[in-house]
Structure 1
C-alpha cells in the first residue's frame, strides 16, 4: 500500500470521528506552521502580512 493510500484512508477515517478530525486539523496546521517557519528561515524573514 502506498503512502498516499494510507494517508487517504487515515483522512477518511478521521472524517468519521469528530475527535479524530479535530486532531487531524491540528496536526495539519502544526505541519503548515513548521513549513512556513522553515521557508522563512531559508529565504530570510521578509514575509509581509497585510
Structure 2
C-alpha cells in the first residue's frame, strides 16, 4: 500500500524499516530503508533475506 511521505518519515523515526518505491515510469523498484541508528543484526538479516527476492 502506498502511503504519503509523511507516514514514511514517522515510521523511519520510530525505528521501522520501510520499502521506498519509485515511479512506475522509472525502474518501478523498491529500496529497503531504515535509520542508521536502528540498523541492528535483525534488520540486516531481513535486508539480506528480502533483498534477494
Instruction: Provide TM-score, normalisation by structure 2.
Output: 0.28
Q: Which has the higher contact order (CA 8 A, sep 6+)?
A: 2
Which structure has the bigger radius of gyration?
A: 1
Instruction: Provide TM-score, normalisation by structure 1.
Output: 0.29
From the two aligned structures, give the one with the greater strand fraction.
2
From the two aligned structures, give the one with the greater helix fraction.
1
